[in-house]
Amino acid sequence: MGSDHSPPPSNTNSNDVNSDPEALARVSSGPPYSAFPKWTRRFIVGMTAVGGVVSPMTANIYFPALNPIAADLGVSISLINLTLTTYMIFQAIAPTIFGDFGDKAGRRPAFVISFLIYVAANLGLALQRNYAALLVLRMLQSAGSSGTLALCFAVIADISVSSERGKYMGILLAGINVGPSLSPVLGGILAEYLGWQAIFWFCLIFSGAWLIVFALAVPETCRNVVGNGSVPATGWNMTVIDYVRSRRHPAQHDTQQTVSKPPLRFPNPFNVLKAVLQKDLALVYLYGTLAYLVFILIVATLSTEFAAIYGYNDLIIGLCYLPYGLGCCSAAVFQGYALDWNYRRIARSIGMTIDRRRGDDMSKFPIEKARLQPVIPILIAGIASTICYGWVLQAKTHVAAPLVLLYIVGFMVVDLYPEAPATAIAANNLVRCLFGAGGTAVIEPMLRSMGRGWTYTFWALVLVVFSPMLYILARIGPRCREERRLKMIEDSSSTSSSSRSVEE
């Protein structure tokens, strides 16, 4: 939840300026936070949102095919379920590698490598005919698809200032939430009418088409590589179009400025521990993980519960995921705009001038308060709707009741993502996957022993019990951010002094 890493804008007490947040961008001078034109930023966000669909789509499109795959390969369902466990393990690990790599080498190389791995894995999965190949290739598929999530959030941080980041995050989350809602339906249709292999052919074609467009036209955004976007990319950070242009006009390309990049090294997955051990980020990760856990437990039990209560087949059950997915997508977009609105409101209340050109100085701005306030009413409604959902299932009411509540739950239960680079997002993913694996292991025994009503009530009350963490976050967050900022300045000064000593 740090700064936009730009010079602080000058504050003003002018009522005329602060009363018109849309005009605040005009008060600043100097280089913009992002040099990309508005339509280029929109194109980047759109492509990133589509790319973000891949990981959740891959995890969920596979579910309807579990029984036919087990039958074709002649193995038990328990062995097929093992492919789900190994998938989640790699889903937790892969972003820690690709996130660190993307922060150092750039987003484009990390995206291209992860998608090439994913395409190759899907080709193998579509052609394989034995269990060992399925198990190994599912791990590879998970590594390729899951690595993209941390990169997607990092791209948004690269190109958007804090005052506008909410709407871009909302668009990205809406794209990501399409996966869990539509992919079970799509997987059921493909498995039913074309065979389970068609699922992997579809994933290959979808990701391959995205990769072609990305390689051709999506520019590098990593600020360690291209700064604010005004520094031309070189080497493997260039788009194919830019590479062709540089070959046609080599003299012009050679005279363009470059940015000093850190030396490339092998990605260190343990860098995520630095983020996890930060006190304020740990609170965000933990409470966001609990909210995510409620999300994943509802999704994981929907098919079995609706089959047991209403006797639906796989295709109809797949359609029942749609209200939940629609709620998630609606919430993501709504929350994005709500976060930006609240940011502007708090800026006006403290007399701060919003600088949409260069970004704001976060050292004196209560960003935790700005981000948490819109979440609180949503969270309260989400807890209430989760409890109602459990008791509606317990009462075996008409299917319309749980479907409406699924929409409300999906709308309300949204992740609390911190504004952080790829490595920090990877840390968030690691914590969520570990909790998710544990939660899915205990939910079925809980449903059998406690019943549907009390099971979902229990998980909703877990959110209530841990909710004071949000208050603690708002209190200690500014101090933690200031400590990190001072440490970065100290480390930078030490590095500069060491460099001068070596030169002398």
pLDDT tens per residue across span 379-426: 888 888 889 888 988 876 554 444 444 444 433 333 333 333 445 555
- The whole-angstrom separation of Cα 246 and Cα 236 is 13
Report pLDDT digits (tens) over 280-310.
777 877 777 777 777 777 776 777 777 778 8
- The whole-angstrom separation of Cα 105 and Cα 59 is 27
**pLDDT > 70 in the chain, percent:** 73
Opening angle at CA 284, ends 278 and 289, nearest 5: 120
Q: How far apart are the first and last CA of the chain?
A: 38
Specify the pLDDT at position 8. Answer: 40
Specify the pLDDT at position 334. Answer: 78
Quick one: tokens of 184? 């079970």
CA dihedral sign, ordered 293, 299, 303, 308: positive
Residue 112, Cβ neighbours under 10 Å: how many?
A: 15
- The whole-angstrom separation of Cα 302 and Cα 25 is 47
Q: Find the helix or strand (DSSP H, E) in which 496 lies.
A: helix 468-503
Residue 270 has pLDDT above 80, yes or no: no
Q: What is the DSSP letter of 351?
A: T
Please name which of 284, 289, 287, 291 lies closest in space to residue 460, comparing C-alpha atoms.
Answer: 291
Report pLDDT digits (tens) over 22-64.
444 444 456 788 889 989 999 999 999 999 899 888 988 887 7
- Mean pLDDT across 166-185: 78
**pLDDT range class, residue 135, cuts 50, 70, 90:** very high
Specify the pLDDT at position 442. Answer: 77
Residue 496 has pLDDT above 60, yes or no: no
- The whole-angstrom separation of Cα 185 and Cα 493 is 55
Average pLDDT, the chain: 76
Residue 454 has pLDDT above 80, yes or no: yes
Residue 202 has pLDDT above 80, yes or no: yes
Query: Would you state the torsion angle of the CA atoms of residues 328, 334, 337, 342, taken in this order, to the nearest 10 degrees?
Result: -100
| 482 within 8 A of 363, measured Cβ to Cβ | yes
Q: At 499, which amino acid appears?
A: S
Specify the pLDDT at position 26. Answer: 44
**pLDDT range class, residue 208, cuts 50, 70, 90:** very high
The position carrying tokens 């997955």 is: 269
Beta-strand (E) ranges in 196-288? none
Please name which of 174, 57, 55, 61 lies closest in space to residue 117, comparing C-alpha atoms.
Answer: 55
Q: What is the DSSP letter of 264?
A: P
Please name which of 396, 383, 381, 399 lies closest in space to residue 320, comparing C-alpha atoms.
Answer: 399
CB proximity list for 334: less than 8 A, separation 6 or greater: 170, 411
Residue 207, Cβ neighbours under 10 Å: how many?
A: 26
| 399 within 8 A of 415, measured Cβ to Cβ | no
- The whole-angstrom separation of Cα 284 and Cα 371 is 11
Specify the pLDDT at position 381. Answer: 82
Please report the domains of the chain, with CATH numbers, ordered by start residue.
34-247+271-496 (1.20.1250.20)
